[in-house]
Amino acid sequence: MSDLPRARPSSLGAWLLAGTLLVASAWSFPYFARLGSPNELTRLYLARAVVDDGALSIDGPVARHGRLTDMASHDGRLYSDKAPGIGLLGAPVYALVKACAGWDTAAVSNELLLRLLRLLLAGVPLALAALILQRLLGRLGLGPGPRALIAWGYGLGSLAFPYGTLLYGHQAAAACLLGAWAALDRQRRDPRAGWPLLVGLLLGLSMLIEYTTLLLAAPLALHALLAFPRRGRDTLLALAGAVLPLGLLVAYQAACFGAPWATGYGALASPHYAEVHARGVLGLGAPSLGRLLAALFGTTRGLFFYAPWLALGLAGLVLGALRPRAGETRAGWLALSARSLLYLVFASSLEPEAWGWSLGPRHLVPLLPFWALAVGRLWLEAAGATRFTVRALVPYSIATCVLPTVVFGGFPPDFSNPLADFVAPLVAHGCAAPGVASALGLDPAWGLLPLGLALLGLGAWVIFSGGGSPGARLLAAALAAGLIVLAFTWTGPAEPREQRALEWVERDVLQCTDPIDDAFSAPRS
């Protein structure tokens, strides 16, 4: 983004950031056999099929481990309905684990394999994206404090965290796209290097992992072609890098669904989801302002309800495009703005039923590191106002993104305010997903105590570190605390379906109908 040399973040700070995010992503294990996790297991089944059966069809894993809702059917065979990247990347991981288990398939449970794949294909990309973001913020010209604050906010105070904990493709795709942007930035400073090869590889890999990232990768690729210092040579290198992932993608689709352009979404095995995706074009209807507002501001799944500080990134994008600083390019900010607009149009066109059980608008996750980068751009122009807003809203966002993840990992689409109507009652009754505590033989809810203390300390650091008057810091702390209390206590009208869903999850899924002790329980209404 900038041609000016910048100081690198300290190695200690970078290691602390990456290590903490990896530990946090592995702290809880929100997986429940009764529910399964179809969006994750369909990818895991593909990894198993490749290693156990030497096949792309998941018929074998389905026979051995049970059916899923997230499957496609073609010519009498069953396949994963998702983009194949995570499943294919998971295959060598599974092969290594299976080899260590003496090639005994039964010795590697779905739970064990899911833990490993989540850490390596979601947690590691989360940590890498945060490190790359911190470095890019330094390239913009931000000092160590703002860089660290925004990088920590991205890692724990945005939807990057829950999807850096679960085996979806969104966070891995986000890391690929941000890595491609960073490689392009390096190429501008070192035209003789082979960075375009990495740009092409990462852009292609993002589409192998998540189909919808085409809307983000295409504008970035166009910008790269125009920005390459040695356009002919660099373009050929980028195309060479993209050949492997895109070649795998079209070969997979041709082998599984009969044509290079065919995807599993055109052959869904679930009648309900087949009907949903048959509406419009693969489930996409005409753009709707109502859907867009729900995806950004709604209390059920709205991005800015869970991470309001990222709204500053929209202002940062506009500012960068209208008034680029010395060493920046207007074309770069315009490319980021165009990608954001395309993805927001996509979100406004997607059928709500296609989101499934999720925490927030998960399809927007690949956009988030770029909006966090744009928050840094705004910081350079309005440091005082941005500093106060980020300090007040990042602690709130950490609470609203981390706590729901470690309690259950997502929401049924039944709650007007899931934080108050779903998460808070579960915490009050001593309910939490399995994790480190349960691995030690303790009730899972005990894992909330050290995690809560760590997040409280991090929130205090966010608010009270760096510059600013004591009064402004206290006001930011009061605002953060007030917003957290409001988010977890404000409830909408009582709905019988919400109560039934809560009681079912508590009784049959989390199985925590009896409070563990007075410290973790509250009287039932």
Residue 162 near residue 409 (C-beta atoms within 8 A): yes
Per-residue pLDDT, 507: 85
d(CA 451, CA 233): 50
pLDDT tier at 500 (50, 70, 90 boundaries)?
A: confident
Tokens of 166: 């679960």
pLDDT tens digit string along 181-227?
999 988 888 777 788 999 999 999 999 999 999 999 999 998 888 88
Give the pLDDT confidence score for residue 523 in this predicted structure.
34
Q: What is the model's pLDDT at position 466?
A: 65
Is residue 189 within a helix (H) or strand (E), and if so which, with residue range? helix 170-189
| Model confidence pLDDT, tens digit, residues 352-408 | 666 677 888 999 999 999 999 999 999 988 878 888 899 899 999 999 999 999 999
| Whole-number pLDDT of residue 282 | 60
pLDDT at residue 516, as a whole number: 39
Residue in this structure with the two tokens 């965290």, named with its chain if needed: 161
Residue 51 has pLDDT above 80, yes or no: yes
Question: pLDDT-based confidence at 524, cuts 50/70/90?
Answer: very low
Minimum mean pLDDT among 266-275, 414-423, 501-510: which range? Answer: 266-275
- Rg for the chain, CA atoms, rounded: 23
Sign of CA dihedral 292, 298, 303, 307: positive
pLDDT higher at 520 or 114: 114
**Confidence at residue 277, expressed as pLDDT on a 0 to 100 scale:** 65
Q: According to the model, what pLDDT value does residue 488 have?
A: 94
Instruction: Render 66-128 in DSSP notation, one character per residue.
Output: ---SSEEEETTEEEESS-SHHHHHHHHHHHHHHHHTTT-GGGS-HHHHHHHHHIIIIIHHHHH
Q: What is the pLDDT of residue 455?
A: 87
In three-state secondary structure terms, 40 is helix
**pLDDT score for 7:** 43
Residue 347 — very low, low, confident or very high, per pLDDT cuts 50/70/90?
Answer: confident
**For 5, what's the count of Cα atoms within 13 Å in the CB-facing half-sphere?**
2
Percent of the chain with pLDDT over 90: 53
Per-residue pLDDT reduced to its tens digit, 59-105: 999 999 999 988 999 999 999 999 999 999 999 999 999 999 999 98
Measured between alpha carbons, how far is residue 355 from residues 300, 362, 381, 460 in Å? 12, 8, 36, 34
pLDDT digits (tens, 9 = 90+) for 232-241: 888 899 999 9
DSSP 114-146: HHHHHIIIIIHHHHHHHHHHHHHHHHHT--HHH
**Residue 275 pLDDT more than 80?**
no
pLDDT at position 502 is: 87
Would you say residue 519 has pLDDT above 50?
no
pLDDT of residue 278: 64
Q: Is the pLDDT of residue 229 over 80?
A: no
